[in-house]
Amino acid sequence: MHTLVVLACLGWAALFSPGAASAATPARPNVLLLLADDMGWGDLQCHGNDKISTPALDRIRAQSVELDHFYVSPSCSPTRSSLLSGRHHLRLRVLSTSDGLEVMHGDETTLAEALKAGGYATGCFGKWHNGSNPPSTARGQGFDEFLGFSGGFFSNYFDPTLEHNGAATPTRGFITDVLTDGALRFIEQHSTRPFFCYVPFNACHSPMQAPDALFEKYSVLGFSPKDAAIYAMIENLDQNIGRLLEKIDSLGIAENTIVLFASDNGPASARFNGGMRGQKGSLFEGGQRVPCFIRWPGKLTAGRRVTEIAQHIDILPTLLDLAGLPAPNARPLDGLSLVSLLKGTATAWPPRTLFEIRGAGGKNGTVLPVFPGTARTPTHRWVHDGQKALLFDLRNDPGETHNIAENAPELAAQIQADYLAWFRSATAETHGQIQRFPICLTEGTTLFIPESDRSGGARLFGRGWDYDWAVFPKPGLSLLWNLEVPVAGRYELSALHTARTLGGQIMARVGSNQTSVKITAVVDPPVIPRPERIPRWEVPEKVFAPLPIGILEIPRGAQRLELTADPGTEIQGLTLKRLQ
């Protein structure tokens, strides 16, 4: 078993820099990091979209240094892990957005842990999406306070029941407003000491739910219900960012607060995006180039545009450099500090190539396909879709309409060689390793394991996202979970289930130890109605009933947990409670 897994379960943040949690230094700047979800480069009025109203973000841009060519991953979790760690998500084994491949392992040092070691108060308010259980939660990764949700999306944006420091907490209002309220309280509470306030909003990610007045505004303008909901969520997001800026101003701390805004990937629909090709999930410019503004009044020149390419991996070293704190040295960073570019003092910025991969990870993450992948040089984008390579000269063809790979074979071959060398380096330590679910529980504590690895044959109802469940159309099918168990013990297991027939059985097994339960009651809950503007493409939501299965002895180390269920049963996941 990995020693690092044990360290992470014990609390990696405490081991990051022994004795380094120095007294708060007033001169250190506050950091307000704002991250939109599925918001594209073109979803801003200041970027030429005359159909939307974004005055707060337009104001930030005017007062900021803009990273004009800033790139992220094509989807949520990979971007978030790279942004918080300064390391490429492929190195972190954050390979996708579900099935356990979205989990950033607790032995990675995050921006929150580094700032906390430097005396900062740390809070996260929004969508985490890098692990739902210790040690990979927001609180396990360096945040003193967390209000939000840990999965890829939230089912209901109105009066949501969110997690607040581990406890389910009912709230009132639209979710973006609620998250902002939490961030405002945090900023006010910590305004006299350095704080790091990370607000990863879930707007404008589906499901398509939006405040009535704003939805009607964009509907009247002629937008489809989907785009009207998206633009309504973006305008509401902008209003809430305006509230955060007003709070900073009213507290008199604007000149000592770094505000950074970005998005986690390109737009999740075909809408205005500055003429770029592709959208969320794409390896072309439109899927990865997003807005990025960095404001620090009096320290960074308002209106400066940085044209050099930059990436999410650069955020951690840049913010730590601006804060005057050292970068973590437990593992090498992939990102660079951009401070000299932000301040205009760089005399010779070295040319670099940025790499990205999409949909990496086979079963359990043991097989990592080399392609599809892409490389962005200062002048070109190279894309390999798994069948052939494409090359675009972005100086003359920003819309990526003319493939010049055959006309520039030497350049295409060199970029491909660079990509393959990067891939080998990024996977050197993890290639072929099974992705394991860490069971980091103290006595009396509980965690939830969602349905994930379906190699046992159970069929998924949905797309593998949050709230999905597994069905068992015939006998002999199972769900399998690969576990990493730091401490052997007795665990009480319960299944979140529905059952339309009586007499069936659910059984759980680890090695030769097993326990089972007979189904003695019909459980067939209705789908929960939600205020959708269009039919959701995510799975519908319903309440699954807990059913105690029994107690299992689970040894220490790498284990495999298997769950079987008879036809007529649906399983959303398991809860494990450590007894001793």
Q: What average pLDDT does range 381-387 have in this prediction? A: 95
Going from the C-alpha of 123 to that of each of 16, 87, 196, 207, 456, the distances in angstroms are 18, 21, 6, 26, 39
pTM above 0.85, yes or no: yes
Amino acid at 360: A
Contact 195, 30 (CB under 8 A): yes
- CA-to-CA distance for 52 and 234, rounded, in angstroms? 8
Within-domain flag for 338: yes
Going from the C-alpha of 22 to that of each of 30, 156, 256, 317, 320, the distances in angstroms are 16, 41, 19, 20, 15
At 494-540, the pLDDT tens digits run 999 999 889 999 999 999 999 999 999 999 999 999 999 999 888 88
Asked whether residue 416 falls in the same domain as residue 516, the answer is no
Asked whether residue 368 falls in the same domain as residue 251, the answer is no
Q: Tell me what pLDDT residue 118 has.
A: 97
Q: Would residue 462 be called left, alpha or beta, if left means φ above 0 and alpha means ψ between -120 and 50 degrees?
A: left
Task: For residue 529, give its domain range.
Answer: 437-578
Asked whether residue 115 falls in the same domain as residue 256, the answer is yes
515-551 burial, b for 16+ CB within 10 Å, e for fewer?
Answer: bebebeeebeeeeeeeebbeebebbbbeebeebebee
Within-domain flag for 547: yes
At 55-103, the pLDDT tens digits run 999 999 999 999 999 999 999 999 999 999 999 999 998 988 887 889 9
Asked whether residue 263 falls in the same domain as residue 368, the answer is no
Within-domain flag for 348: no
Contact 101, 365 (CB under 8 A): yes
Asked whether residue 234 falls in the same domain as residue 291, the answer is yes
Asked whether residue 462 falls in the same domain as residue 418, the answer is no
Residue at a domain's end among 407, 426, 445 = 426
Catalytic residues: 76, 129
Asked whether residue 42 falls in the same domain as residue 72, the answer is yes
Q: Tell me what pLDDT residue 453 has.
A: 61
Within-domain flag for 116: yes
- CA-to-CA distance for 552 and 365, rounded, in angstroms? 27
Neighbours of 378 (CB within 10 A): 15
CATH code for the domain of 491: 2.60.120.260
Banded model confidence at residue 17, pLDDT cuts 50, 70, 90: very low
Asked whether residue 234 falls in the same domain as residue 334, the answer is yes
Within-domain flag for 432: no
Contact 40, 279 (CB under 8 A): yes
Within-domain flag for 349: no
> Could you give the number of structural domains in the chain?
3
Asked whether residue 362 falls in the same domain as residue 452, the answer is no
Residue at a domain's end among 377, 403, 426 = 426
Contact 480, 456 (CB under 8 A): yes
Within-domain flag for 529: yes
Q: Tell me what pLDDT residue 369 has.
A: 85
Residue at a domain's end among 426, 445, 477 = 426
Asked whether residue 422 falls in the same domain as residue 505, the answer is no
CATH code for the domain of 220: 3.40.720.10
CATH code for the domain of 381: 3.30.1120.10
At 456-483, the pLDDT tens digits run 778 878 777 888 899 999 998 999 998 9
At residue 540, φ and ψ (nearest 5 deg) are: -65, 165
Within-domain flag for 322: yes
Asked whether residue 335 falls in the same domain as residue 441, the answer is no
Going from the C-alpha of 281 to that of each of 278, 299, 320, 377, the distances in angstroms are 8, 36, 30, 20
Asked whether residue 301 falls in the same domain as residue 401, the answer is no
